[in-house]
Amino acid sequence: MPIQSGYHSRGYLPHLKVEGADYFVTFRLADSLPRELILRLIAQRDDLLRCAAHERPDHHDHVRSELFAWYAAEVDSLLDQHTGAAWLRDPQIAQLTSIALSHFDGERYTLHAWCVMPNHVHAVVRPLGAHTLDTILQNWKSYTAHEANRILGRTGAFWQTESYDHWIRDAADFSHCVRYTEDNPMKAKLCAAPTDWPWSSAAK
């Protein structure tokens, strides 16, 4: 059953759901990062978590949150190197993904910002009504995987199974996440200004 609030885990990352909240989400292509690299980062993060639990038990939740933010930032930095097949470089696949992101905007969710990068996608989104973040992500990924594989003439996994999501706490956090999302192509040296990247809310 889809979770609307509370902590849960689907694998590598913890996920905090808060009903009526905004989220910053990232999902990436299946081959975007080597598994051994992700496992090394996870081991490094878990070592730091164990040390934090021993040395600063009263601040464990805060340290845990900081370390998972560090892990996500490390993964994003690696993703910006555009490794793997980077199928989203194909304008047809990037356009397909852009349309899918916006399709139910205002009906199932409010899409505040989004960006399609060569091997990953960022979005700032608020689920509406009974629609959960998990089902929104599942629908985005399922539809685009099917259509992209058909266009590319391939089979097999298109997206990495797990996605990263961050509950946006306040207005400053919201502003940061929107700016991060729309600035990502410029930061990754794909364009000179956010508005130059056609597969982003900044260009709309």
* pLDDT, tens digit, 9 for 90 and up, residues 32-89: 876 666 667 667 767 666 776 666 655 555 565 666 666 667 777 777 778 789 999 9
Which two structure tokens, joined as six digits, stand for 202? 């900044």
Tell which wins on pLDDT, 42 or 158.
158
Question: How far, in Å, CA of 136 to CA of 121, rounded?
Answer: 14
At the fourth CATH level, which superfamily is domain 6-203? Transposase IS200-like (3.30.70.1290)
Give percent of the chain with pLDDT exceeding 70. Answer: 74
Whether pLDDT at 202 is above 50:
yes
For range 8-28, the mean pLDDT: 68
Q: How many CB atoms lie within 10 A of CB 49?
A: 16
Q: How far apart are the first and last CA of the chain?
A: 35
Domain ranges of the chain: 6-203
The secondary structure of residue 115, as a DSSP letter, is: E
Question: Does the pLDDT of residue 5 top 50, yes or no?
Answer: no
106: β partners: none
* Contacting residues for 90 by C-beta, under 8 A, at least 6 apart: 151, 152
8 vs 169, residue with greater confidence: 169
- State the burial class of residue 116 (Cβ atoms within 10 Å of its Cβ: 0-12, 13-18, 19+): buried
CB 126 within 8 A of CB 109: yes
Residue 106's φ and ψ, nearest 5 degrees, are: 90, -10
**Average pLDDT of the segment spanning 24-30:** 93
Looking at residues 115-129, what average pLDDT do you find? 96
The residues facing 8 across adjacent strands are 15
Three-state DSSP state, 170: coil
Q: Give the SS3 label for residue 64.
A: helix
Is the pLDDT at 169 greater than 60? The verdict is yes
Single out the residue of 197, 126, 109, 203 nearest to residue 165, CA to CA.
126
pLDDT-derived band at 3 (thresholds 50, 70, 90) equals very low
pTM over 0.75: yes
- For the chain, what is the mean pLDDT? 83
